[in-house]
Structure 1
Amino acid sequence: MKSHSIRLLSGAVMALALVTAAHSQDALPPNAAASVNGYIISNDAVEQGIQAALSQGQKDSPELRKAVLGKMIEISLLSQQADRDGLANSDRANTQLALIRQNYLADLELSTYMSKNPVSDADIQAEYNREIASLGPQGMIVEYKVSDIVVATESDAQAALARIKKGESFDKVAKSISLAPNKVQGGAVGWVQAGETLPQISSVLTTLSKGQVSPAPIQMPQGWYLIKLEDKKSSKPPTYEQAKAVIRNGLMQKKQFEFLSQLRQGANIVVR
């Protein structure tokens, strides 16, 4: 029989599985999936365990459901034994249980906030329209295949540019002097859209022809840059239906970020 790797969400699902009450060992209440030495594992807890497994890419099946319940029974047995061994009130247990509670409440608060402030279809349509309008009159997505060299000073950048102008390849110069991690790939960045880069870069990138290097070093907060346009391509944007899920996810992340920013602004946070 094919085995399933059950990776229950740490903390939240396990805590739900273990919040059980002592009950008659010979009878199960209506919402019980199992009893372990008189402690009940509820159907709701099992269902949350199954949903956690499904969210990690596993397929719903009787085998999966049996495995989830089996894992919860094992957890209940181990937790009961830990209680008997006096581990439940140890400093380590109290710290971990406090973290589990905190993580669960944080997830619950965020999900509650999102249920009260959902991303509507109208929000998604408006964002899609905005993104399409930003493509300009031709309505095409333009992508640029870019390589870069990053150095600490303007003089270093000018020296690198001089080497390239004398015929040395961009990737060879990048491998020898660039401070960026992509130096090992000859400075290759990959395909980007102009809007995904900072204005200092995009304003130069959009003026380059294929194979051309920026005519002067570009000053950035991280140092001085030289960029090379390796290639350029245009493509039609996705339809609304094709883009809907991605836009929804982006808007949800934006809402969550804004909510957390509000909480930060109203909090007294002291960091050592």
Structure 2
Amino acid sequence: MKSLFIRCLTISTLAVAPIGLAHSQGTLPLNAAASVNGVIISNDAVEQGIQAALAQGQKDSPELRKAVVAKLIEIHLLAQQAEKDGIANSDKANRQLALIRQNYLADLELSTFIANNPVSDADIQAEYQREIASLGAQGTIVEYKVSDIAVATEADAQAALARIKKGESFDKVAKSVSLAPNKVQGGAVGWVQAGQTLPQIAAVLTTLSKGQVSPTPIQMPQGWYLIKLEDKKSSQPPSFEQAKAAIRNGLIQRKQFEFLSQLRKGANIVVQ
């Protein structure tokens, strides 16, 4: 259930189209894909853009690489023009840059925490056995087909919920206001088990009927969420090898949640 967790900073989908790139007369360093007025665009930056596009379902190809390089060139051109126009140090720019820095540092801290506190194969095996035991005598699992809307504040979530209650479709509102990458799919998350979500989500998800939207916004460490139960089904549990990756991701998310909870307990937080 990727969009329900830990993704504050997103990258726009890169449209793939035939693009002709001008060739510079100079010689570029080994790790350079291009340069813009002497400013290097590294192959590492291009690779990050490619990985972001692949994560959003695009196919790896020479055309994708050209599109990523072209987009990075556009970004450098606009950024350099912003410097020339004197808006790079405006209050608005500085606020946004500070937010980007905070989001990056938050992601970096979480990834560093997980690297220092990894999920072991023994942890995964124990969790699999626990989940199998929790199924009871019937031995079936319940899966939920979910859509979600992620916003920054409770007020934004309440406004989105009000639109849905007035008759707007969930997917239309998701496309309009959600901050999660899956907004382009109308907030569709796909099939999940309650145990694969964080406790706040699971507590609400298991009470919903098919087609129902969470009656109130759900507060998460990363923002506020609305969820919709699109469908529900029972099935036989997967084998350990089939479930291993999903369990690992769920345990990682649980560790991240516990880490954030510890930080909250040790912090002096004042909310208006």
Q: TM-score of the superposition, structure 2-length normalised?
A: 0.57
C-alpha deviation, 1:10, in angstroms: 4.4
2:32 corresponds to 1:32: yes
Q: Residues 109, 142 of structure 1: CA spacing in aligned structure 2 closer, same or farther, 3 A cutoff?
A: closer
Structure 1 residue 28, shift from structure 2 partner: 1.8
Task: State the Cα deviation string for residues 82-124 of structure 1 (Å, max 9, x = none).
Answer: 1000011101100011111111111111111112222222111
Aligned CA distance change for structure 1 residues 84 and 256 (closer, same or farther; 3 Å): same
In the alignment, residue 27 of structure 2 is paired with which amino acid?
A
Report the Cα distance in structure 2 between the residues aligned to 1:87 and 1:234, rounded to whole angstroms: 56
Question: Is 1:141 aligned to 2:143, yes or no?
Answer: no
Conserved 8 A contact 1:54-1:60: yes
Letter in 2 for 1:242: Q
Letter of the structure 1 residue corresponding to residue 140 of structure 2 = I
Give identity over the alignment, percent. Answer: 74
Equivalent residue, structure 1, for 2:93: 93
Q: Distance in 2 between matches of 1:236 and 1:117?
A: 32
Structure 1 distance, partners of 2:99, 2:143, is 45
Shift in Å at residue 27 of structure 1? 3.1
Per the alignment, in what secondary structure is the counterpart of residue 68 of structure 1?
helix
Output one character per residue of 1:140-196: Cα deviation in whole Å (capped at 9) or x when no partner. Answer: 126699xxxxxxxxxxxxxxxxxxxxxxxxxxxxxxxxx9x9xxxxxxxxxx99999
Asked if 1:63 corresponds to 2:96, the answer is no
Q: Which amino acid aligns with 1:141?
A: T
Contact 1:25 1:35 survives alignment (8 Å): no
Offset of 1:243 from its aligned partner? 1.7
Alpha-carbon separation, structure 2, partners of 1:57 and 1:25: 35
Match of 2:111 in 1: 111
**What amino acid maps onto 1:259 in structure 2?**
F
| Cα-to-partner distance string for 1:172-230 (whole Å, 9 max, x where unaligned) | xxxxxxx9x9xxxxxxxxxx9999987xx99xxxxxxxxxxxxxxxxxxx9xxxxxxxx
Going from structure 1 to structure 2, the CA distance change for 1:142 and 1:114 (only over 3 Å counts) comes to closer
Aligned-residue offset at 1:259? 0.8
1:243 aligns with 2:243: yes
| Preserved CA contact (<8 Å) 1:34 1:40 | yes
Instruction: Give the 3-state SS of the residue equivalent to 1:33 in structure 2.
Output: strand
Q: TM-score, normalised by structure 1?
A: 0.57
Specify the alignment match of 1:51 in structure 2: 51
Q: How many residues align?
A: 178
1:223-253 residue CA offsets vs partner (Å, 9 max, x unmatched): xxxxxxxxxx975322112222221221111
For 1:27, the aligned partner's letter is T
Q: Give distance in 1, aligned partners of 2:90 and 2:67.
A: 30
Q: CA deviation at 1:255?
A: 0.7
Q: Matched residues in 2 for 1:245 and 1:268: separation?
A: 36
Moved more, 91-100 or 127-136: 127-136
Bigger relative contact order (CA 8 A; separation at least 6):
2
Q: Secondary structure at the match of 2:82?
A: helix
Of structures 1 and 2, the larger Rg is shown by 1
Letter of the 2:74 partner, please give it: E
